Amino acid sequence: MRKRWMHAILILTCGRAIAQEPAEILGRVRHNVAEQVSRAANYACVETIERNYLVTRDVAAACGSSSIKHAKPYMHDRLRLDVAVSQRSEIYSWHGENNFTSASVAEVVRSGPISSGGFVGYLMNIFLEPNIAIAYVGQSKGIARFRYEVPLAHSKYQTSTPKSYARIPFHGEFGVDTKNFQLKDLIVTGEDFPSASDICFAETHVSYQIAHISGADSLIPSGFLLRIANRLSNLFTESRGAYSDCREFKGESTIVFDTSGEPSKGPQQPPASRQKIPAGRTLPIRLITPIDDRKSFTGDRVEGVVVEPSGNSVVHGVITELAAHYDPATHYYLKIEFEQMESNGQIYSLRALHKPTGNEAEKLYLLFGDNLPEAIKQELNGGTMIFDSKHLHLDPGFTADWITIEPRPN
């Protein structure tokens, strides 16, 4: 189920003659988009995403439609990220991390459907790339609509496969406000997904707004809807996202944008010199931050204290998974990764995951029976806590063991 979907950027230019009025509208909106993209002002926004996973028996219907009927809810989660835009590129981090080092959103969100491109990627590939076919559709209520098609040769749209990333062609339409010639919305539909990606249908709807940031008007998304169908897993996912708290970004992060095909893994800023806690150390941690499925998001920061005789050290981490599962009954997956510890004025880097107690089978008996499924054992051994409950709520004071492991390779 660990499907990741992302795409880079998108661009376009009129390749056919259309009537004078539509041609003027198209020329004006292209000019406005180019001006917005070329501005050097940096900005960052908070991105919240709500993802619903559905299981369907009718895979054929899901693969050819933007919606399905009679699907069964399988899973639900919510994410909160920070996205920064600078130098015509998008970079991501978990919310409040203040450390933009990931050139790809898939490097931050490592499971479930995820995408990028709404800020500058789509705009560049659709509105700035030459030789893209655009056709005028019509006008209604002050909105002019155009249809476009981006062939594989000009596409920057990418989808992940188990071994690499593959470019695919895409098409869609967009709307333009005829009063100010600003982009109002954009629909992007992927085509010809490789069989290795398991995706058979993907469509993104992005709505746009003008926001005053860094002393200038900026064209930014206000929200999006992403629908994806998977042919092998029978999953249909619907992700709804919104952007808020957009402000000037003055970070020192290095940003590298690579249009060669695969997401950039450009140079990252070297971390400050600090001691590292080696793998294999067990840390009894008492949470300071409350966690509640109705208020908390994947991506939220978490603090705790290490309970030890020599004194309490403060640890900082992030929720990397908080999801409701509905089969065979409602239960929750929670994963917290601690990455920093402060003790006696010294800062230590680490990576610590929850350590199974060995009593999970007894606690989860009503969900899974006598023998835990192998997939559940792997989740538990990977640091995921599973709670058999209709709601998840952990008060400050919740205490459990975490164990340090080797950090992920850069």
Strand 346-354 and strand 275-276: pairing? parallel
16, pLDDT greater than 70: no
Q: What mean pLDDT do residues 367-379 have?
A: 95
Specify whether the CB–CB gap between 103 and 91 falls below 8 A. yes
Residue with more model confidence, 399 or 200: 399
Specify whether the CB–CB gap between 243 and 46 falls below 8 A. yes
Mean pLDDT score of the chain: 85
> What CA–CA distance (Å, rounded) separates 287 from 306?
9
Q: What is the pLDDT of residues 282-319, one digit of tens each?
A: 999 999 999 999 999 999 999 999 998 767 799 999 99
Q: What mean pLDDT do residues 313-340 have?
A: 96
Per-residue pLDDT, 247: 85
DSSP for 208-232 reads EEEEEETTEEEEEEEEEEEEEEETT
Q: What mean pLDDT do residues 2-20 have?
A: 37
407, pLDDT greater than 90: no
37, pLDDT greater than 90: no
Specify whether the CB–CB gap between 318 and 97 falls below 8 A. yes
Strand 282-287 and strand 331-343: pairing? unpaired
Per-residue pLDDT, 62: 74
Q: What mean pLDDT do residues 267-292 have?
A: 81
Per-residue pLDDT, 409: 67
Per-residue pLDDT, 141: 92
Q: What mean pLDDT do residues 378-393 have?
A: 97
Confidence of residue 100 (pLDDT cuts 50, 70, 90): confident
Q: What mean pLDDT do residues 383-401 have?
A: 97
> What CA–CA distance (Å, rounded) separates 378 from 276?
26
Confidence of residue 17 (pLDDT cuts 50, 70, 90): very low
**List of residues 6+ apart from 180 with CB closer than 8 A:** none
Nearest CA to 62 out of 225, 203, 207 is that of: 203
Domains along the chain with CATH numbers:
20-248 (no CATH), 275-404 (2.40.128)
